[in-house]
Structure 1
Amino acid sequence: MSYDTIRLVVEDRGIARLTLARPEKHNALSAVMIGELTDAAVRLSADAAVRAVVLDAEGKSFCAGGDLEWMREQFAADRQTRIAEATRLAMMLKALNELPKPMVARVHGNSFGGGVGLMSVCDAVIAAKGVKFGLTETRLGLIPATISPYVVARIGEGRARPLFMSGRLFEAQEAKTAGLVTAVVDAAQLDATIEAETLSYLAAAPAAAGRAKRLARSLGAPITDAIIAATIERLADTWETDEAREGVSAFFERREPSWRA
């Protein structure tokens, strides 16, 4: 299967490499990429030859979050269109989260918003030193709604609260302390660490590994369709606020929003 915004390659030994391939856009999540990642998740789930998945990215960044043009379309859209687009993103995250294979993120560059959501649905995250992260939605008058179930499942409510509210950037070591990142290594050691992590899964029986993943998910806070729908409704409500209109307008107009001192 040929894709426009991602690449998918499966090695003979059963390791699949799923690559975000919009380097000129810092691998921002466009409508096309969301659809292609969903399709890839379905294909990987069904492919018995795949034993483990490495999620990586081309270019300088891992994932900058939502695509600028996609965000502009949401700004101009009505409530139902916004809900439909947020649902597509939510179903992509759900499909990757429920992938019955080990998935390891190779995070070589900065990751914000939806990129942190992608990291949160992985089973292990290996990040390079110096990489920065952020859940920056509140700086636009928005909230990190669609990704929130997965981020909270990953790092817990207590860690999530200040990061959700402030929208501040934080570095790899803080991400590791929070539980978002599994290991932080020098950039030169990134590939060797990824190799060691994926090899550990090849020692496990494939079906048992998938069952173990489902077991762990079942013991955590449930991420049901009702919870997903509720987060999308909260996002739709937030889009309709004066703060969102001011924050997104300021972003596109390259000025500070009214609440910044």
Structure 2
Amino acid sequence: MSYETLEIAREAGVATIWMNRPDVHNAFNAQLIADLTTACIELDADDAVRAVVLAGRGKSFSAGADLNWMKAAGEASEAENFADAMKLAGMLRTLAEMKKPTIARVHGAALGGGMGLASACDICIAGDKAVFATSEVKFGIIPSAISPYVIRAIGERQAYRYFQTAERINATRAATLGLAHEAVATEELDAKVSEVVEALLQGGPKSQAAAKDLIRAVANRPVSDAVVEDTARRIASLRVTPEAKEGLAAFLDKRPAVWIAQG
């Protein structure tokens, strides 16, 4: 498919979604939200895609909401605002729950919804000039739709600070907070993303999807009998799959697993 606000590049099992509104720093509007939702669904269903990288054309990753879109929202009814907010929340959830591994390649500004996108991806690699913020309170609103993913990334305690102060967070601080997995020199950003992608391509695609689902099932839950039984059932069910049998056989035969050879 072709998209009005996106470019999608595919190479060797990796799909890169380039947000392509550089004149407004890849700010969100209704079209970008719709395009990202559809692209995530399309790529998640494509067996040829092993990993997805989210990136931005121009000077920024994403500067959050388009000001014209925000102005229109301020003049709309509460019901219309709810409908728009549900589309944004739905897009973020679609990205966050993709079966494929996802990496945010962040350079420049990642503000508001842009910080939400970075948090919704499984992995975030930031260039050293990247800057993050939950800037919504400066506009009299809150980082509501992005909150599940940002809080997951930086924790509740840090969210109390940054949701209220809207302070800018540089790349080094983002890495300290856990928002970015790594902060690297901007000229090394693509090399680091490629390095992480290469590591991802070594894993079995079905086991990676199961690993993501496992985290969602176990995180922030006490170690109860139900959790212990659930984790045991998950590994038992995977051990008998063709992918697991192939992975073990490849290790014993000292050869690449079929999913690596295909890549």
Which TM-score band applies after superposition, normalised by the shorter structure? Answer: 0.7 to 0.9
The 5-angstrom pairing of residues 232-243 of structure 1 reads none
Indicate the residue corresponding to 1:169 in structure 2: 168
Indicate the residue corresponding to 2:37 in structure 1: 38
| 1:126 and 1:190 in contact (8 A); partners too | yes
| 1:34 and 1:88 in contact (8 A); partners too | yes
| 1:65 and 1:111 in contact (8 A); partners too | yes
SS of the aligned residue for 1:55 comes to: strand
| 2:6 and 2:35 in contact (8 A); partners too | yes
How many residues align? The count is 221
SS of the aligned residue for 2:192 comes to: helix
Q: Name structure 2 gaps, 5 residues minimum.
A: 222-263
Greater than 6 Å deviation, 4+ residue runs: none
Indicate the residue corresponding to 2:184 in structure 1: 185
State the shift of 1:108 in Å: 1.5
Is residue 2:222 matched to residue 1:204? Answer: no
Give distance in 2, aligned partners of 1:97 and 1:221.
17
SS of the aligned residue for 2:16 comes to: strand
Indicate the residue corresponding to 2:258 in structure 1: none
| 2:40 and 2:95 in contact (8 A); partners too | yes
With the length of structure 2 as denominator, give the TM-score of the two structures.
Answer: 0.82
| 2:108 and 2:130 in contact (8 A); partners too | yes
Give distance in 2, aligned partners of 1:118 and 1:35.
14
SS of the aligned residue for 1:50 comes to: coil
Give distance in 1, aligned partners of 2:220 and 2:34.
27
State the shift of 1:109 in Å: 1.2
| Structure number with larger C-alpha Rg | 2
The 5-angstrom pairing of residues 21-170 of structure 1 reads 21-170=20-169
| 2:107 and 2:129 in contact (8 A); partners too | no
| 1:153 and 1:221 in contact (8 A); partners too | no
SS of the aligned residue for 1:125 comes to: strand
Indicate the residue corresponding to 1:2 in structure 2: 2
Give distance in 2, aligned partners of 1:35 and 1:221.
31
Give distance in 2, aligned partners of 1:143 and 1:220.
25
Give distance in 1, aligned partners of 2:115 and 2:179.
8
Identity over aligned pairs, percent: 42
| 2:25 and 2:63 in contact (8 A); partners too | yes
State the shift of 1:221 in Å: 5.1
Deviations 1:24-46 (A, max 9, x none): 01000110000000000110111
SS of the aligned residue for 2:47 comes to: coil
With the length of structure 1 as denominator, give the TM-score of the two structures.
Answer: 0.83
State the shift of 1:220 in Å: 2.5
| 1:45 and 1:99 in contact (8 A); partners too | yes
Give distance in 1, aligned partners of 2:48 and 2:121.
19
Deviations 1:206-226 (A, max 9, x none): 11111111111222359xxxx
Q: Name structure 1 gaps, 5 residues minimum.
A: 223-261
Over the residues paired in the alignment, what is the CA RMSD in angstroms? Answer: 1.1
- By relative contact order (CA 8 Å, sep 6+), the higher-ranking structure is 1
State the shift of 1:9 in Å: 2.1
State the shift of 1:110 in Å: 1.2
